Chain A
Amino acid sequence: MTKNSIHWFRKGLRLHDNPALLEAVRDSDTVRCVYFLDPWFAGSSNLGVNRWRFLLQCLEDLDASLRKLNSRLFVIRGQPANIFPRLFKDWNTSQLTFECDSEPFGKERDAAIKKLATEAGVEVISRISHTLYDLDKIIELNGGHPPLTFKHFQTLVGSMPPPDAPVGALSRASMGRCVTPVSDNHRDKYGVPLLEELGFDTEGLAPAVWPGGESEALTRIERQLGPDLSTAWQVNFESTRKTASPLLPSPLGLSPYLRFGCLSCRLFYSKLAELYKKVKTNGSPPISLYDKLLWREFFYTAATNNPRFDKMDGNPICIRIPWDRNAEALAKWAEAKTGFPWIDAIMTQLRQEGWIHHLARHAVACFLTRGDLWISWEEGMKVFEELLLDADWSVNAGSWLCHSCSSFFQQFFHCYCPVGFGRKIDPEGDFVRHYLPVLKDMPDKYIYDPWNAPIEVQRAAKCVVGVDYPKPMVNHAEASRLNIERMRQMYQQLSRYRGLSLLAAVPTSPIEDLNAVASPSTGRKQSGLNSHHGRSRVNVNGEEQLGLSGVRPRPGPTCTQSCGMAHAEQAGSSNQQLCRTRCAHEFAVPHYPGHLARGGTGKRGRESEQEQEVGSDFPAPAFKVQRHHQHVSQGSGVNICVYILFSKVDVMYLG
């Protein structure tokens, strides 16, 4: 019986360290490597031209490498679920192999294909090679939940056996007797399409700063971690402070190649370890050596079981922050027209070339969200998804969650200044001049804040602010004042911290925080700052409630006790706690005011309510519910409940 394999490429666009691909050729008679591309989808997708170009170059390179092994890449137009059944039949397939995809939608898609394959009698083999570790194992080790702080993640991973070594590349030897049947019209039927065929206008498109493909990736890693140890050391382990060059695209940069899997993360990992051992002969490398790779791993782990990882609504690890919707401001940011040269230069670089340095990412992300514009991180994430070559669903969303302080328990006190931060990294402003030629004659002194240059200076530089270059779109001092206050309120509410300290408002870890809430008398906040001023921060004696954050009416002893119970009860909902920003805000409102008064007023109140008739003067939204309940209780109260249901039902997470 012949054994015919299909290897399905998605990410992992490489022949080296590709265990699933090796499975495909092992003891097989034929192998066909396929990649699905939906031309219709291409035109309408929100990926920018740079990302498509990078992908097509990867596919070209893959095809070229396969040719050297007398094989070819089959680029198939259409959707896998529609086309696989036919391929299985036409090619008499016995086995399908692919690299594991850890992302929720990928897992869903793969499960569906697996089902189709099994129905067609095709065996499915998948192997983990896009991540260093088996993410499920990390989650298992952490008691079933993904770790929510990077340090915790590092610790967990440090306690695990090191990642598997990379496997050998596909070669003539590993192919053995396995061949690829190629027809004469392969190019027409299965060739890699051109950008034009996907509907992109390529006229005036500058050459790629980041050429795609496995060959390029291997050249880069060789150059970066090759014979010249000092460069390698500098690139990987030394801090990048005070040199302008890291902002510019480096011929050693690897992140887009990791994203598309042109480069195996395990190969990168093993090369780093090798280098470390060469330079420092004593001891084994610390886990922090691999930080860059581990951040990626961290986000994959956090996202793998969370299909709403890229959303604020319904995402259990995301704090609900009342971001502003402002299409105009968003467009200014995305199109590099903020009037802040540092921000605009970065966004120009992103649009033109598809990659920006991680400090630059911090800068523009902070500016869009909690720093200045107070626009949702989801909007920024979408722009990155379109433009950023290395934007992966998990990594992109995870980074934005971090930058906007929406998750992972970040310190929110620190906003990157859109003027000072750039000046600090690149004092002469060469980076800005490179991407914003309009500012090339602006003196160094004003390159980051041209609006402060005297008008003569602006004229001499042929760049008058408001004419040749936009005025700054926000007053950073004012915006950051407002925003830091807003973040403080959000975090105080979250941590139930009522003191004055800005730093103490950030819960250090989710579990600890929830425990603290659950048992107020032993909460960690108790021994904190304010005790210096004779005020305990925990709700123990009711006295503490007089804080700058709010004068709350002094409750009697029963109230204090019940408040504690209330907290415990709410903490029971675990992660969902994070979404619940609805509970009384930090300002001056008792959580459970009903405790405060008993007797007289209550009864009178009830009587007066019964007198009141709430009749049919309601317009029509809620009818089904209303009708349904009319026979239940004719009392006057039905309607009000119905309206609450209607106004709240879609913000409900707990039900």
Chain B
Amino acid sequence: MKRVKGDEDACSSSSEGPTESCKKVRKLQPSKEKHQEEEEETDVDLCEFGFDWALLPQEILLNIFQFLPLLDRAYASQVCRGWNQAFHMPELWRCFEFELNQPASSYLKATHPDLIKQIIKRHSNHLQYVSFKVDSSTESAEAACDILSQLVNCSLKTLGLISTARPSFMELPKSHFISALTVVFVNSKSLSSLKIDDTPVDDPSLKVLVANNSDTLRMLKMSSCPHVSPAGILCVADQCHGLRELALNYHLLSDELLLALSSEKHVHLEHLRIDVVSENPGQHFHTIRKSSWDAMLRHSPKFNLVMYFFLYEDEFGPFFREEVPITHLYFGRSVSKDVLGRVGLHCPRLVELVVCANGLRPLDEELIRIAKRCTQLSAIGLGECEVSCSAFVEFVKMCGRRLSQLSIMEEVLIPDHKYNLDEIHWEVSKHLGRVWFPDMMPTW
């Protein structure tokens, strides 16, 4: 490619025979060094087979361009007219990620405003998979909304609004955000995936979404959207029967929602992610009836229930009192021994458990109970916890090789009469059937 670039005439003038243009290349670049000479040789060989880069069929070019990052495509497009046309093929503009950052608030570069203009002007009707990565400044969120509101003639399949630092969409005037978002909802009519975590989306805008995209919507991620009410999400579940993935905060979760998702008309749910966050200390959390979970499980026996808890220890009262079909469980803050004991009793489908911290007492019995009862558990992570070495070995022995992820901070393991820290990695490796070490942080 470099060689061809050296002589643009050779490329653009297709009247000239390929061999001739190659000779010209040779004449223009008299080679002195030996390796250069070799390169020239290759050129000639290729040309003798009637090869000319400019004559590559568009389909092949497209195929190649698809593997190149935007910047490389831009470079390549300057080689010749044919490549320049290939650069603009709609297939290459289906997917675009707008990066909106301000120098004052981000270390990353932003998508150039002129490029954005060009895309809106020339390629907006080709866009199908669009995401916006926005830094913590309100200006960036605003810029994203401005682009959104110009996407009138496109039909998006996926849309993602991603805050890469602080949730800046939340700082926008709600009406401004809503009107931009509904432009896409109204015009697209075939949205299948929507990721709008940490945004001021509200019930009426979800109604617009449902009214226009109910047949196609398969995924909706809207964790921490404080303006949505349980009724608003229920409307989505009632109408969008193809919904397979849903992510939301616990305050939107209701028995009615689970029943709606497990109605006969509804496809099987695949993933449900719930974030349980305490907004103020001592907050009271409602409970979900076991019968609702049972209905959900009957309807979608394979669905994954992912729950992230960010609660104080004393807020866990309503949780894990009855059986819950949780598969992936994450405790982002301290969780008591008592709650972990309940997890062992009531989470038979548990696949992954992550505990960032617990109180001061070792978790020996709790872990062993979890190993005994959660027969599908295959991943566990422990941060600021304590487990005696022998209990941990026992736990690993019970779970055996199904533990494909075992991430334990070294400080978690307390040496006891049976094992010290040097011995434990052998012992655990033996039961896992592979080499295992605890995770370490630098002691420096």
Contact = CB atoms under 8 A, between A and B. Distances in A.
A-B complex is real: yes
A312 interface: yes
B115 A643 contact: yes
Given A477-B333, A612-B122, A295 B106 contact: no
Contact of A635 (B85, B129, B306): B85
A26 B250 CA distance: 76
Nearest to A651: B109
Interface in B222-264: 223-224, 244-245, 247
Interface residues of B, number: 124
A227 interface: no
B88 interface: yes
Interface stretch (B28-36, B146-154, B434-442): B434-442
Contacts of A593: 66, 91, 94-95, 128-129
Chain B CB count within 10 A is highest, among A291, A326, A398, A632, for: A632
B405 A605 contact: no
Interface string A303-335: 000000000110000001011111000000000
Contacts of A296: 444
Nearest to B436: A151
Nearest to B441: A362
B357 interface: yes
Given A413-B383, A606-B89, A637-B87, A548 B304 contact: yes
B423 to A, nearest CB: 10
Contacts of A647: 109-112, 114-115
B1 interface: no
B328 A295 contact: no
B183 interface: no
B376 interface: yes
Contacts of A584: 95, 97, 129
B141 interface: no
Nearest to A421: B384
A502 interface: yes
Given A324-B165, A481-B332, A503-B405, A637 B88 contact: yes
A481 B308 contact: yes
Contacts of A376: 107
Contacts of B133: 322, 585
B407 interface: yes
Contacts of B182: none
Which of B106, B195, B302, B443: most chain A Cβ within 10 A?
Answer: B443
A71 to B, nearest CB: 34
Interface stretch (B41-49, B69-77, B205-213, B285-293): B69-77
B278 A477 contact: yes
Given A395-B444, A477-B278, A547 B164 contact: no
B171 to A, nearest CB: 14
Interface stretch (A170-178, A188-196, A207-215, A595-603): A595-603
A550 interface: yes
A500 interface: yes
Contacts of A481: 224, 275, 277, 308, 310, 332
Given A295-B442, A358-B442, A481-B332, A322 B158 contact: no
A21 B67 CA distance: 57
Interface string B152-177: 00000110101111110000000000
Contacts of A323: 106-107, 165
A645 interface: yes
Contacts of A627: none
Contacts of A485: 197, 223
Interface string A572-597: 00000000101111011111111111
A527 B75 CA distance: 40
A504 B107 contact: no
B192 interface: yes
Contact of B166 (A324, A411, A565, A609): A324
Nearest to A241: B411
Nearest to A649: B71
Main secondary structure of the interface of B (DSSP, over half): mixed
A503 B114 contact: no
Contacts of B59: 598
B38 interface: no
B4 interface: no
Interface stretch (B15-23, B337-345, B348-356, B363-371): B348-356
Given A482-B198, A605-B89, A420 B333 contact: yes
B219 A588 contact: yes
A411 to B, nearest CB: 5
B270 A322 contact: no
Given A326-B136, A424-B384, A587 B118 contact: no
A201 to B, nearest CB: 31
A374 interface: yes
A239 interface: yes
Given A286-B422, A641-B77, A504 B330 contact: no
Given A529-B379, A594-B65, A645-B71, A633 B88 contact: no
A632 B81 CA distance: 8
A601 B244 contact: no
B67 A566 contact: yes
A288 interface: yes
B192 A551 contact: yes
B409 interface: yes
A582 B73 CA distance: 14
B215 interface: no
B8 A632 contact: yes
Contacts of B439: 410-411
Nearest to A505: B405
B360 A424 contact: yes
A414 interface: yes
A553 to B, nearest CB: 6
B311 interface: yes
Interface string B96-108: 0100010011111
Given A413-B383, A417-B356, A588-B158, A629 B95 contact: no
A489 B198 CA distance: 15
Contacts of A582: 69, 97
B129 A588 contact: yes
A612 B88 CA distance: 12
B90 interface: yes
A624 interface: no
B304 to A, nearest CB: 6
B136 A324 contact: yes
The 8 A-B residue pairs whose C-beta atoms are closest, nearest first, are: A647-B112, A414-B383, A594-B91, A605-B90, A322-B164, A593-B94, A588-B158, A324-B165
Given A588-B193, A592-B67, A594-B63, 5 more contacts: A415-B356, A502-B381, A533-B302, A591-B95, A637-B88
25 contacts: A255-B444, A288-B421, A292-B443, A374-B165, A421-B384, A482-B166, A484-B308, A500-B304, A504-B404, A551-B158, A580-B69, A585-B131, A588-B131, A588-B195, A593-B129, A594-B66, A595-B66, A609-B85, A618-B114, A633-B81, A640-B88, A641-B78, A644-B112, A644-B115, A648-B71
Interface of A: 150-151, 239, 241-242, 255, 286, 288, 291-292, 295-296, 299, 312-313, 320, 322-326, 358, 361-362, 374, 376, 390, 395, 398-399, 402-403, 410-411, 413-417, 420-421, 424, 427, 452, 476-478, 480-482, 484-486, 489, 500-504, 506, 527-529, 532-534, 546-548, 550-551, 553, 562, 565-566, 569, 580, 582-585, 587-598, 601-602, 605-606, 609-610, 612, 614, 618-619, 629, 632-633, 635, 637-652, 654-655
Interface of B: 8, 12, 59, 62-63, 65-67, 69-75, 77-81, 84-85, 87-92, 94-95, 97, 101, 104-112, 114-115, 118, 122, 126, 128-129, 131, 133, 135-136, 157-158, 160, 162-167, 192-193, 195, 197-198, 218-219, 221, 223-224, 244-245, 247, 270-271, 273, 275, 277-279, 281, 302, 304, 306, 308, 310-312, 327-328, 330, 332-334, 351-352, 354, 356-357, 360, 376, 378-381, 383-384, 404-405, 407, 409, 411, 414-415, 421-422, 437, 439-444
